[in-house]
Structure 1
């Protein structure tokens, strides 16, 4: 079985994090979000995939290369302009000769692919949409199913009057190659806004598979932070890299922590970090590689990417700091995003 990972989007709702970094390369517990989608495929023994690229696509190619680190064969489909989820898929029509999987490159989930594929085949479906129950249904496509689990209505990001169900489109699909006959060639086209509503209206064999597994879209800053905390809480089934030096505290290689520093789990610290005297790091904090935190600085519920410097007595609460950010001495920030070096 082959898969397509959708990674061409601009990630506008995650700005400023995505100004210079592909959404699929944003660190989640010190690994690119793309890692978790590829690892899900690997664990499911799907070893051939294509990734579509547009915004900062070279970052993805540099990281994944040919897929060797995942024991996979990975190809790329580069788009000169955004083609939409369906238009990008249509571009790779010749790659898919049998039942195939399509999913976002940056979602975090541990759903059972094999069970979903088995459901798809039992239903003799043209398309299966993986669904998830949620209270936040107005942000996603909503599906209404009948007793046979066939989708009878599909509304992308509905208004209050159109939200007929609490089962939303998780952005994961299983298709038969016949799906390509419903997608025009050479133009932008969207699965959620155009293809699926049209198929449902025509009465085609479109079914909804309701997952009971962990899933989060990471479509905005709040969900990005929630995904990290859910992993740290053990809600996702995702293993955390590093050596667990105490319960709930993971540390990478060549990291130095002062004996007078205080760490409140769960916390993840990357490689080659330096944590100085009397530093206090609160729960749900992750530090990337080569992070330096100087004397008496305090962090609560923060996400620090690589090569970050926190000067003495700085205080950060519920903040995100991207690569090479610097916080000067004694500065306090609550609920901020820092993407550069703040001058003293």
Structure 2
């Protein structure tokens, strides 16, 4: 398995924080967001990670250069943003024929990586990716998903006024190489994963539920909430996290 940590965005909704710091390095409890992901992916297993860069790229490069995981991280600079799908396609040689773990660097997420990988390997045979889901307290602002009896995504509801529930797409995925073949078939360089890829795979997306912690640190409000609730005195909900598989 190889990983893509998406870290090129401008983070405009997090201004003024992101006027001088890229959103992937915004600190939560004194620790950059990127470090939470690198801890998970590299601490126990040497998963090669690609980080795409654009906005304030030198800061990210400097951070990685002093990271204890620098030997596992490859960076790639995008002169212009390619969209999630475009980044995957541009760098498909890095991923080869391996499964791809993909996450956005501005998400803060605690989950059992072992269980997530297992869920993907044990997915229904017709599914080509596994999506992390979580329960959101703001369903109108999220992509809400519906699941069938086999735990497969059967519908998306993207930021609608009256969504049918609060089970949301966490934008953390494990993808099979066939998904990159589909990206190639589109014949374009810039590809939006949410609008051009996910709809095509409805009915073929396995779901893994994160019942521990997940928050998109995309706005100042969500950033404040994460600072308030990420580390509580009672850590019983997260004490049994394991990273081996």
Does the alignment reach a TM-score above 0.5? yes
Please give the residue correspondences for 1:49-60 in structure 2 after superposition, counting only pairs within 5 Å: 49-60=49-60
Q: Greater CA deviation, 185-194 or 49-58?
A: 185-194
Q: CA RMSD in A?
A: 2.0
Query: C-alpha displacement at 1:182, in angstroms?
Result: 2.1
Q: Distance in 2 between matches of 1:2 and 1:90?
A: 14
Query: C-alpha displacement at 1:104, in angstroms?
Result: 1.3
Partner of 1:12: 12
Note if contact 2:38-2:69 (Cα within 8 Å) is conserved in structure 1: yes
Note if contact 1:86-1:188 (Cα within 8 Å) is conserved in structure 2: yes
Q: Distance in 2 between matches of 1:232 and 1:115?
A: 22
Note if contact 1:144-1:167 (Cα within 8 Å) is conserved in structure 2: yes
Note if contact 2:106-2:218 (Cα within 8 Å) is conserved in structure 1: no
Q: Distance in 2 between matches of 1:104 and 1:185?
A: 24
Deviations 1:13-41 (A, max 9, x none): 10111112100111222222111111121
Please give the residue correspondences for 1:144-163 in structure 2 after superposition, counting only pairs within 5 Å: 144-156=146-158, 158-161=159-162, 163=163
Note if contact 2:64-2:70 (Cα within 8 Å) is conserved in structure 1: no
Q: Say which one has the larger Rg.
A: 1
Partner of 2:119: 119
Number of positions where the alignment pairs a residue of Structure 1 with one of Structure 2: 232
Query: C-alpha displacement at 1:145, in angstroms?
Result: 0.5
Q: Distance in 1 between matches of 2:12 and 2:67?
A: 30
Query: C-alpha displacement at 1:43, in angstroms?
Result: 3.8
Note if contact 1:102-1:173 (Cα within 8 Å) is conserved in structure 2: yes
Matched, 1:42 2:45: no
Please give the residue correspondences for 1:289-308 in structure 2 after superposition, counting only pairs within 5 Å: none
Unaligned runs of 5+ in 2: 240-245
Partner of 1:220: 219
Note if contact 1:231-1:237 (Cα within 8 Å) is conserved in structure 2: no
SS of 2:116's partner is helix
Note if contact 1:7-1:24 (Cα within 8 Å) is conserved in structure 2: yes
Q: Distance in 1 between matches of 2:68 and 2:180?
A: 31
TM norm structure 1: 0.63
Partner of 1:99: 99
Query: C-alpha displacement at 1:223, in angstroms?
Result: 1.1
Q: Distance in 1 between matches of 2:115 and 2:76?
A: 28
Unaligned runs of 5+ in 1: 239-344
Deviations 1:302-330 (A, max 9, x none): xxxxxxxxxxxxxxxxxxxxxxxxxxxxx
TM norm structure 2: 0.87
Note if contact 1:2-1:46 (Cα within 8 Å) is conserved in structure 2: no
Deviations 1:82-102 (A, max 9, x none): 111111111111111211200
Note if contact 2:42-2:72 (Cα within 8 Å) is conserved in structure 1: no
SS of 1:18's partner is helix
Per residue, is there more helix in 1 or in 2? 2
Note if contact 2:84-2:191 (Cα within 8 Å) is conserved in structure 1: yes
Deviations 1:57-106 (A, max 9, x none): 111110012x7502751101211111111111111111112112001113
Partner of 2:83: 84
